[in-house]
Structure 1
């Protein structure tokens, strides 16, 4: 499977603290990957670098079959390349319906004229219905987003990102604050999404990661400590020493 994103020899220092230390990691065209590690391991900074929020001191971040460098691009330019990010706290338009939230997120021409002339099309309506089914909100399309449960808001935000048809979806701690049933549904949503794009999930909840049933990358002090199946990395003595042997709730 071809490489979609390659992070190579990346380092970044904040006020003397090396948050990312010679990090090298690759992601394939369509795969589900979990990134775990203790607090301060560099998980969020890694996502900040890929999305252009943070510029590294050194290294390369190469994207797609054309081997584009993401380092010279702005956050909006990177988003247009097909990289979507979901933060831990859901950000949806609370006073709009679920359908309106998804409609606003659809990948359509963004010029002022195109937005002005935008009409409800059959294809857009079908796309909204398909996404709503994928995220389990078909029966909630007419509900105001602010009325949704925490888990449903998380699903809606994932749906809004899917509506933009990203090639890479970065998801930060989606299981936080969810019920058991919501967590199970969330893993199903992410596993389904990863059939057609790369989905990278940063998570602390080991049961959630186990249910994802995917390759796991363990970060520690800004670099890769171990990589492989969850059973493989959790049996690694260094992973046990720096991460699993301490509380990481």
Structure 2
């Protein structure tokens, strides 16, 4: 399977602090990957660089079959290329219905005039229903987003990202604040999504990562400390030292 995203030798400093230090790794086309590491390990900066929010001081970020450089693209261009990012706190339009949130997120013409005249047709409504079913919100379409539970808001936001038809989803701590049942449903959802696209989950919660049952990349001081299954990296003496301070 070919690589969809390749990060090679990227470094980034903020006021003398090296947040990313010669970081290199790759993500395959249809892969579920967990990225873990203590606070300050560089997880957020890595996502900022991939999505164009932050530019690295050195290194390359290559994308797709033709290995195009993401560093030459704006945030909007990167999003159009098919990279979606879900932040830790769900950002949904609370006063709008679930259906309206998903409709607004659909991949449609975005010019000033086309936005004014665009109306959801039969195909758009069918797509909204499909997305709602995919994220477990089929029964909630007419409810206001503000009435949803925390977990359901997280799923709605994932649905809004899916509406953009991404090839890579970056998901930041999806399990935070969820009930046990919601966490289990989220695990199932992320695993299923990774069958057809790349899904990168940045997470602190080891139990949640264990449920994902995927390859794990451990970051420390902005570089890859270990990589492999959770059992493999958990047995690594360097990882034990970083996490447990031994």
With the shorter chain as reference, the TM-score category is: over 0.9
Mean Cα deviation higher: 103-112 or 85-94: 103-112
For 2:54 and 2:196, the matched residues in 1 are separated by 27
Deviation at 1:121, TM superposition (A): 1.9
Match of 1:32 in 2: 32
Work out whether 1:193 is the aligned partner of 2:213.
no
Match of 2:13 in 1: 13
| Deviations 1:5-35, CA, capped at 9 Å, x for gaps | 0000000000000000000010001110000
Q: Which residues of structure 2 form unaligned runs of 5+?
A: none
For 1:232 and 1:19, the matched residues in 2 are separated by 25
TM-score (structure 2 length as normaliser): 0.98
| Deviations 1:211-240, CA, capped at 9 Å, x for gaps | 111110000000001111111111111111
Q: How does 1:58-207 map to 2 (within 5 A)?
A: 58-207=58-207
Q: Which residues of structure 1 form unaligned runs of 5+?
A: none
Deviation at 1:112, TM superposition (A): 2.2
Deviation at 1:43, TM superposition (A): 0.3
| Deviations 1:175-217, CA, capped at 9 Å, x for gaps | 1111111111111111111111100000011111011111100
Deviation at 1:114, TM superposition (A): 2.4
Matched length = 246
Match of 1:44 in 2: 44
For 2:191 and 2:126, the matched residues in 1 are separated by 22
| Deviations 1:111-168, CA, capped at 9 Å, x for gaps | 2232233222222112111111111111100000011111110010000001110010
For 2:115 and 2:189, the matched residues in 1 are separated by 29
- Secondary structure, in 3 states, of the residue corresponding to 1:190? helix
TM-score (structure 1 length as normaliser): 0.97
Match of 2:215 in 1: 215
